[in-house]
Structure formats: C-alpha cells, structure tokens
Amino acid sequence: MGILKYILTIVFGLLSTPTLAQVGQIPSWPPNVNGTTGPPFVGMGDTRPSNIKGHWGMVAFKSSTRGQNMVNICDASSGGTCKDIATNSTTGLVSSTQNVGSIGACDNSSNQCYIEKLYDDSGALNCTGSVACPVAHQGSAGIRPKFVVNASGTLPGIGCGEDYFDQGTWTTVSQPLSALFSTSTTSDPGSFDDAVGSGSLVRNGIGAGLLPFAYAGAVLSAGSAISSGVFYSLISIINNTSSSIIVNGSATTGTAGTSNMSSNAQICHGDGVPSTLIVLEAAIYGADVTSDVAALTTDMQTNGGF
C-alpha cells in the first residue's frame, strides 16, 4: 500500500500542473493537423522572415499576420457577389466553411465558389509604390479559379482551372531567387502548369509526366514523378547552373536558366490549356533559401495538412 500511495501521489501531482490539468494528457498531443491542435502556428515567415517578396494562399505567412485577409471569393465564375476571407487568428488558416452571396455555403458541386483575388500578407511591399502585391483574376476565359473546399483535410485550395491571377506592378526579383509552393494535380497536365512565377520568364509548377519543374529560360525537372491527387511541398531554387527543384525535401540539381522574375507575379497558369493544379500556398523569396529548406518544408506540410 505504501508503494501504491507513493505512485498515486506522483500521478496526481503531475495532473495538477497547469498544462496537464487542462487536457489530462501530454502537452502538444495529438500532433498538429491543419494547425487546429498541438504546437503553436509556425508559418514560412516565422522560419525565414528575410528576403521575402510575396506570399499568397490559404495559410498566413507568419504568426503576426494571422487574421488578415487572404482571399476574395465570389458566388459566380464571373460577376456576382464577392467578399474577403481572412485566416483564423489562432490557426493561421483559411476555413473551408464559407457563405457568400446567393448560393449560401460553398461546396465543390452545385454551390461552387470562385476566387477573384489573392492577398499578399508578406509585408514585403514589392509592388510599384512600395505597396503589397495582391494578385487578381485575369485571363481570356473569363472563368475565375475555383475555391476548392476541403482540398487538403479541412484546408481549402485554389483550383487553378482556365484562368490565372496576376499582379502587373511587380518589382523585379533577380537571381538567386526561390519559389515555394504547396500543390497537387488532379491528373498529368500533359504540358507545363505553373503554380507561381512571372509569365514566360520564370515558371514553377508541374509538367508532363507528373514532373515538378523550375524554369528561367531552361527547364529543370525533378528526378522522379509525383502522384496525382497528392499534395507536395515544392521549392525551386533558381540560380542559373546552381539551381534545384526540391520535392518534399528531396533535391534535383541542374540548370534553370538566367531569367529574372520581372514585370509581373502570377499564381496559376496553364500552358495554353486549363490547369490541373490545386495550390494551397505560394511564396517568392529574393534569395537562395537552401539553408532553410528542411524547416520550410515542415512548415508547408504541417500547415497544409499533408
């Protein structure tokens, strides 16, 4: 009885500590899923605050930008009623549960919602006049990219589709530069589908044969194909002959060319055909982020829920 009493005393003492008393279990457990439980939110900007030029998507750039507007969604593919949506002030994520205009709750079928604009919460002010760089719906099809509900777990995504987002007052970002993007593809694109880039000058996305690629005048493709319907963290380091395309932390090195990211910033762009990509998050850094690749990969996968 003496030993049992001693053990029970220790157990009750542990449960009386503030953290354990609240949840009755080990702190930070269960692990983080889409940022809803577990450790505090850590965004790209918490890991790598320097050299950022722009950040867009369904995830806050860093802890201090949680609660800011990230996306403008609409109840129609063109026209209609639109409204701004912010990331959650705690999780740092945009919620898939949204209501807009005449259709009510967004879904992926009869109540499909569409995206008119993606806001830049990086704080970099890399557009003309030292202002933020939101990217707005463009393209000849006149069909906004889709707001994909529960694209990855409960996190929504950008269903690129027929058109793209563009910002035409982008201040040039010279090499070395890095493009980061969390994305999946619904099928083999058959050509080059861009997640983030600068028109024909700098392109980063998924190409024919399900090969992630980086391009700045020359195509650098990953060493092996990805699977359709699965999200990946992708990082392009563009620095001419010292470039790399990094898929879930695994790098393929080579030459991507000498072009700089000038004139405009774009999210989603098919090679003359509707894009198959779904994008969760994208960013441009004006530097080689190789030293932070492991941590940035973890950030994208943790917050993206994959």
Low-confidence winner among 29-38, 126-135, 226-235, 296-305 (lowest mean pLDDT): 29-38
Q: Which of 160-169, 180-189, 213-222 has the lowest mean pLDDT?
A: 160-169
β 250-254/243-247 pair status = antiparallel
Q: Which pLDDT band, with edges at 50, 70 and 90, does 37 fall under?
A: low
| Omega before residue 30 within 30° of 0, cis | yes
pLDDT of 2 higher than 80: no
Q: Taking residues 283-300, what's their average pLDDT?
A: 98
What type of residue sits at position 174? S
pLDDT at 235 over 70: yes
Q: Rounded mean pLDDT of 59-79? A: 96
* pLDDT tier for residue 142 given thresholds of 50, 70 and 90: confident
Q: What is the pLDDT of residue 167?
A: 93
Q: Given a cut of 60, is residue 30 above it in pLDDT?
A: no
Instruction: Domains for the chain: give ranges and CATH numbers.
Output: 48-304 (2.60.120.200)
Rounded distance, CA 301 to CA 306, Å? 5
pTM above 0.85, yes or no: yes
pLDDT at 24 over 60: no
What number of other Cβ atoms are within 10 A of residue 10's Cβ? 9
Each residue's pLDDT tens digit, 250-290 = 999 999 999 999 989 999 987 767 899 999 999 999 999 99
**Token pair belonging to 74:** 């609409």
Q: What's the whole-number mean pLDDT along residues 178-190?
A: 97
Of 11-25, 27-41, 200-214, 249-263, the range with the lowest mean pLDDT is 11-25
Specify the pairing of strand 113-118 against strand 146-152. Answer: antiparallel
Q: Parallel, antiparallel, or unpaired: how do β-strands 265-269 and 113-118 relate?
A: unpaired
Give me the chain's average pLDDT, please: 89
Tens digit of pLDDT for each residue in 148-182?
999 999 999 999 998 999 999 999 999 999 999 99
Considering only residues 78 and 178, tell me which one the structure prediction assigns the higher pLDDT. Answer: 178
